[in-house]
Structure 1
Amino acid sequence: MKLTVLGASGGVGRQLVTHALADGHQVTAALRSPEKLTERHERLTVVRADPLDAASVKTVVDGADAVLSGIGQAGRHDPLRPASTSARAVVEAMTATGVRRLVVVSAGPLNRTGAGQSFLSHRVFGPLLWAVLKDVYTDLERMESVLRDSRLDWTAVRPPRLLDKPGEGRYRHAVEAGPAGATITRADVARAMLDFLPDTRTYGHAVGISR
């Protein structure tokens, strides 16, 4: 497949590029500062693009079979609201170019119903995280709202706390629910996002994942 990876210099984005190439895909890695991505491969094209600008995004998604976005949690009080702003730009660009499949990274605490979670996760740790990271999670909620209002075949992957460790090559997942688990590696998040690409059961849904 021809894949475009947005936010390719971030923790999840880098893993998406690495795993997509290992799977045999042709990858366009889009990022504001191309020099930040040092990986080189005959099936990898690294291009400069602003993920918050629809016109810029359009140039890198045109002709792709699918788009994966590693643009998720930003710093607290980030005035750019990168997740939701990028989602609007991506939806506009993909709609204009006729590209339909989109997989993005979100966050486990957006599971407000508590489906699949333990009592402590839902009633104790979840509210604590929201109190500390309200701006971040509100931005991600807006991102998911933008996707739900679109006509794209989208999937929002909701991981718990992310770890910079070697991937285990396995994960648990649940559609519109959050499997119990407090952590997962960024490598396994990328693995899941690529695995979900052809899975029509995830279209139009948030999918909780954990190790």
Structure 2
Amino acid sequence: MKLTILGGSGRVGQKIARLAHDQGYQVQALVRDISKARELIPFATLIEGDATNTEDLQKALIGSHGVISSLNTDKTTTLTTAFPLIIEHMNQLGIKRIVTIGTAGILNSRYEEGKFRYQSSESKRTKTFAAEEHAAVYKMLEQSTLDWTIVCPTYLPEGEEESEVRYELDMLPIDGKKITTGDTAKFAFETFQEHRFSRTRVGICY
């Protein structure tokens, strides 16, 4: 099975790529810096390009059976520019399944009904741009016909698999403080592989 990974040389994306490769998937990755990606994920078929470019995206998606995205905002509108194109090309190519890495900020507030966490007192962040970008992606996916899941980690330090992961649909488990990039990658890949949590957000932490 061929799996397309967007953001394949990023902190989480490269770990997802390795997990997929180890499980026998043909990994196809869209990356901005192909020389860096060759060092990090040398086993992958690499397409150098930008997720906001429609031709680059089409090249990365052709022949794929599913998508995992670990694209982030880079303090730009990368997500809200890329995802309409991702959804369009997936529909055109008949690809249904996508798992994407979001943020705990777009989960529902546990204590303030009708708000995202980033809009409520549960969030300690003063800057909300990234969360707003991820929230817009959630709304796009919700309105699409794709079979999507958004994996929403809380504070995300670099690290390998560390502990048992707690999860909750649409909310962050109580007292969730952090989860490593390694455990986030493993959870996202297993979510894709086992076809769990269709058309919902899932909050993850230790």
Amino acid in the other structure paired with 2:40: E
Shift of 1:169: 6.2
Task: Please tell me whether the aligned partners of residues 159 and 181 of structure 2 are also in contact (alpha carbons under 8 angstroms).
Answer: yes
Per-residue CA shift, 1:116-150, capped at 9, x if unaligned? xxxxx896441x31xx2211111111111111111
Matching residue's letter, 1:84: T
Partner residue, 2:82: 86
Is 1:146 the counterpart of 2:146 in the alignment?
A: no
Note the C-alpha offset of 1:203. Answer: 1.2
1:114 aligns with 2:114: no
**What one-letter code is carried by the residue in structure 2 that aligns with 1:4?**
T
Instruction: Give structure 2 stretches of 5+ with no counterpart.
Output: 112-116
Distance 1:125 1:175 in 2: 17
Q: Distance in 1 between matches of 2:164 and 2:73?
A: 23
| Equivalences for residues 47-196 of structure 1 within 5 A | 47-75=47-75, 78=76, 81-114=77-110, 124-126=121-123, 128-129=124-125, 132-168=126-162, 170-180=164-174, 181-196=176-191
The structural deviation recorded for 1:59 is 1.4
Identity over aligned residues, as a percent?
A: 25
Point out 4+ residue stretches in structure 1 off by more than 3 angstroms.
Answer: 39-42, 121-125, 198-201
TM-score when scaled to structure 2?
A: 0.88
CA RMSD of the aligned region, Å? Answer: 2.0
Question: Does structure 1 conserve the Cα–Cα contact (< 8 Å) formed by 2:47 and 2:59?
Answer: no
Q: Secondary structure at the match of 1:86?
A: helix
2 CA distance for matches of 1:19 and 1:73? 24
How many residues align? The count is 198
* Structure 1 spans left out of the alignment, 5+ residues: 116-120
- 1:118 aligned residue: none
